[in-house]
Amino acid sequence: MVLASAFPNSTFVGYDLAEDAISGGRAEAAERGLTNITFEVADVAAPLVGEPLDAVFAIDAIHDQAAPAAVLRGVHDALAPGARS
């Protein structure tokens, strides 16, 4: 939420497997009036579908994944070509 607030001309997407976490994120974004952030239920070990991403932040999360290497591969593959360096 901090980044979405600080960078209103950017677009942010939050992913989580848990519907309650996604619902909570959506509610908080609505409460704060943030329209540049969305939340989607997704298994980040599976390929992410959509526009290429310019940056990915995973804070205190990779080590908790059942398949961390698959998550990191998916993150790499989801990045826009110029963002992969």
User: Residues 10-41: pLDDT tens digits?
Assistant: 999 999 999 999 999 999 999 999 999 999 99
Residue type, 25: G
pTM above 0.75, yes or no: yes
35 and 69 together in one domain: no
pLDDT of residue 5: 96
Give the structural domain span for 51.
43-85
33 and 52 together in one domain: no
34 and 49 together in one domain: no
- Say yes or no to pLDDT of 9 above 90: yes
> Among candidates 54, 56, 57, which has minimal Cα distance to 80?
54
47 and 84 together in one domain: yes
CA dihedral 60, 37, 48, 17 (to 10 degrees): 60
User: How confident is the prediction for the chain on average, in pLDDT?
Assistant: 92
26 and 63 together in one domain: no
48 and 60 together in one domain: yes
